[in-house]
A = this chain, B = another copy of it.
Amino acid sequence: MNIGEVAAETGVTAKSIRYYESINLIPAPARTESGYRQYSDRDVQILHFIKRARGLGFSVAEVAELLSLYQDRDRASAEVKGIVEARLAEIDQKISELESIRATLRTLANRCHGDDRPDCPILDDLAGLTN
């Protein structure tokens, strides 16, 4: 399979695939005589793995770690679970932050009548006039 077919099947763009190769997240594939990349089913499977992991918000560095654990038949499952738990903690943290911001913005927005008059509690608050 050449890169375009792999992109279509995995949902990872050709650009991204080349990028992943450039940072050594995936091995360089075989080439045809004319230089086209040729991917095996195994390569495709790995790109699926990457796609799913990225979709769950793991950074490329974390994906690299997960991939290497995936390819190590003897690693402890605790290691994998540790990465996932760390990611979960980050997510909880991020959600809290966003909820706090949301509450603030909601309050501000509700206090602003939002019509064609110029006075606006939102800007007043940002300017610190409420302190």
A51-89, CB < 8 A from B: 52-53, 56-57, 66, 69-70, 73-78, 80-82, 84-85, 87-88
B78 touches A116 (CB 8 A): yes
Any chain B CB within 8 A of the CB of A18? no
* Minimal beta-carbon separation of A101 from chain B (angstroms): 5
Interface 1/0s, chain A 115-131, versus B by CB < 8 A? Answer: 11111101101111000
Any chain B CB within 8 A of the CB of A35? no
Q: Which residues of B contact A21 (CB under 8 A)?
A: none
Any chain B CB within 8 A of the CB of A113? yes
B115 touches A76 (CB 8 A): yes
Known contacts A88-B105, A105-B84; is A77 also within 8 Å of B128 by CB?
no
Known contacts A76-B115, A127-B49, A128-B45; is A92 also within 8 Å of B102 by CB?
yes
Mark A residues whose CB is within 8 Å of B.
45, 48-49, 52-53, 56-57, 66, 69-70, 73-78, 80-82, 84-85, 87-88, 91-92, 94-95, 98-99, 101-102, 104-106, 108-109, 112-120, 122-123, 125-128
Please list 9 pairs of residues, one from A and one from B, whose beta carbons are closer than 8 Å in the complex, sorted by A's number. Answer: A57-B98, A57-B101, A66-B126, A75-B118, A77-B114, A80-B112, A80-B114, A87-B105, A92-B102
